[in-house]
Amino acid sequence: MLCVRPLWGLAASGVCVLLLLLLLHGDLLREGQLSAGSCEVVTLDRDSSQPRTTIARQTARCACRRGQIAGTTRAQPACVDVRIVRARQWCDMSPCLDHEGCGLLINNSGWTCTRPGGRVKTTT
């Protein structure tokens, strides 16, 4: 930050220090905030105690824009169109990786991502 010292001397340096403190305070307030339309994973727990099954629970924090809600895109938390969630058309948010096929569960409570080798990942 550049402070120009006008003719009135010491008062100006006090203003420069005050402006610097306000800028630093603003940066501290913004630290930890997400940019609009983005998400981050807060917690991720995996349970592999059942044979051939891994249960993963994930908590994400999102800062979605108007008309969006937290969802999943390409196996990552993302902001998606709220109409997709209301209609429970989960595959419309592209929740699976590019090489996986998406399918809705029978009761529309979630989706499955099927890999070419036949491995299935179910999300509810």
- For the segment 41-59, what is each residue's pLDDT rounded down to a tens digit? 888 888 888 887 888 888 8
Cα–Cα separations (whole angstroms), residue 12 to 1, 3, 5, 15, 20: 14, 8, 6, 5, 12
In a domain, 54, yes or no: yes
In a domain, 107, yes or no: yes
In a domain, 33, yes or no: no
In a domain, 29, yes or no: no
Give me 114's structure tokens: 């099927």
With a CB cutoff of 8 Å and minimum separation 6, the contacts of 21 are none
> Which residue did the predictor score with more confidence, 41 or 7?
41
Q: What is the pLDDT of residues 85-110, one digit of tens each?
A: 999 999 999 999 999 999 999 999 99
- Considering the entire predicted model, what is its pTM? 0.65
Q: How many CB atoms lie within 10 A of CB 117?
A: 5
Residue 52's φ and ψ, nearest 5 degrees, are: 60, 15
With a CB cutoff of 8 Å and minimum separation 6, the contacts of 118 are none
In a domain, 110, yes or no: yes
- H-assigned helices in 31-119: 82-87
Domain that includes residue 119, residue range:
38-123
- Decide if pLDDT at 27 tops 80: no
Domain count, the chain: 1
In a domain, 89, yes or no: yes
In a domain, 79, yes or no: yes
* Confidence band for 118, pLDDT divided at 50, 70 and 90: confident
